[in-house]
């Protein structure tokens, strides 16, 4: 609880990745979208700034203008959109989403604003191989997780399905021959066509899919505004014009870039990501250190209830994936308690409590490694147990476990990349954005890997230097 209070009171400037924190002048309309779906929504560098654009975004801007509200865009994985809407983190979701009956059980939908057909993307050398849908039977097929294409693929006999969040990941799977085909909307497919990726002759029987805007159950007031806006935009083919403009904008993303030009052109993206990664890691280690120390003392307490709580804390956090902890922190608290944390706050809390469980065991091993005679000698000199622990035992224990603490810091730097899935603009988030801008499959990730290596290598060298200075007094 102490950690949550501290993080909730973090200065607003530290939470700038949560877009709603930046808009205080008037009412905000928070849009949830998965910005890797050109021309619906995608990243684009405009005037040197990364922006999320697309005809879905233009529709959202029209809705916000009609409401007299400021539009705030939250970029997240496609399968995170419904939980975000249900938990109140966003007001509406626009991401080329088809209003299926299953989805209608969870959220309400607007009128349809666009219809598209489904096509099959394949490698150019396989263009003659897939002439009909029966040719896809038994094949490995890529689809976006939680999409209408996933339902279509499930109806193909003996097909092996690979479900991923991002279209860019699916295209990379196709290029590296991990899947043999991708089911996708024709409008989206156009953005990924090149000399390696083509549209096959085969096409699903469910050729048409209508896109609609999702809102929380019972939000009829917002739904009326959305439907009125869609009706106005359809006059004189307004939405079709938006689609054409977005398609032209998306086609401009295709350029020949090598890894060095990507690194230089998008250096500001990576620099921003490094800043947030280091911030996340530093706060995670600081709070993790403090909580871990408290948990260690509880585990070594003379009171059984404290020992039980400390042990349960360590075992639960070490025995559950960090991803699950992050989902509970970011969406679970909002659904159950109405507590909407920003990505930064959720990330810091998750990293802190996860790290504290491992640090607690490191501290416990360090304290137990100090000779028991040290405590006995201190007590015989009249020192209280707490004073002896603070002035004699802990300094020796921390000195002995410093390498392990350093390793935990390095681990947190790498594991912080998982926070990108909730919209935290760290290194991995920026790498995904760059890939969506450039359509480069692997280069942005190689650059990100090199950055992580440099950060961890430099940190390990600094820790080694610090250890040598501390051990200088041990030399005889």
CA angle 155, 111, 83 (to 5 degrees): 65
Least confident of 163-167, 218-222, 387-391: 387-391
| Closest listed residue to residue 176, CA positions, set 162, 186, 190 | 162
| Closest listed residue to residue 402, CA positions, set 465, 323, 451, 322 | 465
Instruction: Look up the CATH number of domain 115-208.
Output: 3.40.190.10
Cis? peptide before 110, omega within 30° of 0: no
Q: Does the pLDDT value for residue 338 go beyond 50?
A: yes
CATH topology of domain 2-113+212-254: D-Maltodextrin-Binding Protein; domain 2 (3.40.190)
Q: How confident is the model over 429-446, as a mean pLDDT?
A: 82
Top-ranked range on mean pLDDT: pick from 5-9, 131-135, 191-195, 436-440: 131-135
> What's domain 262-474's superfamily in CATH?
MetI-like (1.10.3720.10)
Rounded CA-CA distance 68/29 in Å is: 9
Do 115-208 and 2-113+212-254 fall under one CATH topology? yes
Three-class SS state of 248: helix
Residue 248, judged by CB atoms within 10 A of its CB (0-12, 13-18, 19+), counts as exposed
Rounded CA-CA distance 146/83 in Å is: 12
Q: Which residue has the higher pLDDT, 102 or 353?
A: 353
Q: What is the mean pLDDT of the chain?
A: 85
Q: Does the pLDDT value for residue 17 go beyond 50?
A: no
| Closest listed residue to residue 404, CA positions, set 457, 359, 350 | 359
Query: Any idea where the domains of the chain sit in the sequence?
Result: 2-113+212-254, 115-208, 262-474
Q: What is the pLDDT of residue 476?
A: 47
Furthest-apart CA atoms within the chain: distance in Å: 91
Interacting residues of 320 by C-beta distance below 8 A, sequence separation 6+: none
Q: Does the pLDDT value for residue 146 go beyond 70?
A: yes
Q: What is the pLDDT of residue 126?
A: 93
Interacting residues of 205 by C-beta distance below 8 A, sequence separation 6+: 133
Q: Does the pLDDT value for residue 2 go beyond 80?
A: no
Q: How many residues are listed for the chain in this entry?
A: 476
| Closest listed residue to residue 127, CA positions, set 210, 185, 194 | 194
**DSSP 8-state secondary structure symbol assigned to residue 16:** T
Where is 471: in which H helix or E strand? helix 443-471
Contact present, 459 and 412 (Cβ < 8 Å): no
Q: How confident is the model over 38-55, as a mean pLDDT?
A: 85
Give residue-wise pLDDT tens across range 414-429. 888 888 888 788 999 8
Rounded CA-CA distance 295/289 in Å is: 10
Q: Which residue has the higher pLDDT, 272 or 388?
A: 272
Give residue-wise pLDDT tens across range 221-239. 999 999 999 999 988 888 9
**DSSP 8-state secondary structure symbol assigned to residue 194:** S
**DSSP 8-state secondary structure symbol assigned to residue 92:** E
CA angle 454, 408, 268 (to 5 degrees): 35
Where is 56: in which H helix or E strand? helix 55-67
Q: Does the pLDDT value for residue 212 go beyond 60?
A: yes
pTM comes to: 0.70
**pLDDT confidence band for 5 (50 / 70 / 90):** very low
Three-class SS state of 416: helix
Q: Which residue has the higher pLDDT, 439 or 233?
A: 233
Q: How confident is the model over 198-208, as a mean pLDDT?
A: 83
């Amino acid at each position: 609880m102490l950690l949550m209070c501290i993080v909730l009171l973090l200065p607003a400037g530290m939470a700038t990745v949560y877009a709603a924190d930046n808009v205080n002048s008037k009412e905000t309309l928070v849009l949830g979208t998965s910005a890797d779906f050109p021309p619906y929504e995608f990243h684009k560098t405009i005037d040197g700034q990364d922006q999320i654009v697309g005809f879905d975004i233009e529709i959202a801007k029209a809705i916000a203008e009609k409401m007299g509200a400021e539009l705030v865009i939250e970029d997240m994985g496609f399968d995170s959109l419904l939980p975000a809407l249900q938990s109140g983190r966003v007001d509406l979701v626009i991401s080329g989403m088809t209003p299926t009956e299953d989805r209608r059980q969870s959220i309400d939908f607007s009128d349809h604003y666009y219809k598209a057909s489904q096509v099959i993307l394949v490698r150019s050398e396989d263009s003659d191989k897939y002439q009909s849908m029966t040719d896809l039977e038994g094949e490995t097929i890529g689809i976006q997780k939680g999409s209408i294409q996933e339902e279509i693929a499930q109806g193909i006999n003996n097909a092996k399905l690979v479900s991923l969040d991002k279209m860019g990941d699916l295209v990379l799977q196709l290029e590296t021959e991990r899947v043999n085909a991708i089911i996708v909307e024709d409008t989206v497919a156009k953005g990924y066509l090149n000399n390696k990726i083509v549209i096959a002759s085969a096409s699903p029987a469910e050729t048409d899919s209508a896109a609609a805007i999702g809102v929380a159950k019972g939000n009829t007031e917002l739904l009326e505004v959305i439907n009125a806006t869609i009706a106005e935009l359809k006059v004189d083919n307004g939405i079709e014009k938006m689609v054409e403009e977005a398609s032209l904008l998306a086609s401009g993303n295709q350029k020949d870039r090598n890894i060095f030009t990507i690194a230089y052109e998008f250096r500001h993206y990576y620099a921003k990501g490094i800043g947030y990664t280091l911030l996340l890691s530093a706060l995670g280690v600081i709070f993790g250190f403090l909580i871990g120390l408290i948990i260690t003392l509880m585990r070594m307490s003379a009171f059984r209830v404290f020992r039980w709580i400390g042990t349960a804390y360590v075992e639960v956090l070490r025995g559950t994936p960090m991803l699950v902890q992050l989902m509970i922190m970011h969406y679970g608290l909002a659904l159950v308690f109405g507590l909407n944390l920003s990505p930064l706050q959720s990330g810091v809390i998750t990293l802190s409590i996860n790290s504290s469980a491992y640090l607690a065991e490191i501290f416990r091993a360090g304290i137990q490694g100090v000779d028991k005679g040290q405590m006995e000698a201190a007590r015989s000199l009249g020192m209280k147990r707490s004073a002896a622990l603070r002035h004699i035992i802990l300094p020796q224990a921390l000195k002995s476990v410093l390498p392990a603490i350093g390793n935990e810091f390095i681990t947190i730097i790498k594991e912080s990349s998982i926070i990108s899935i909730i919209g935290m603009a760290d290194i991995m988030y920026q790498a995904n954005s760059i890939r969506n801008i450039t359509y480069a499959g692997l280069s942005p990730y190689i650059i990100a890997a090199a950055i992580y290596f440099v950060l961890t290598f430099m940190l390990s060298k600094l820790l080694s230097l610090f250890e040598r200075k501390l051990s200088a007094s041990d030399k005889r």
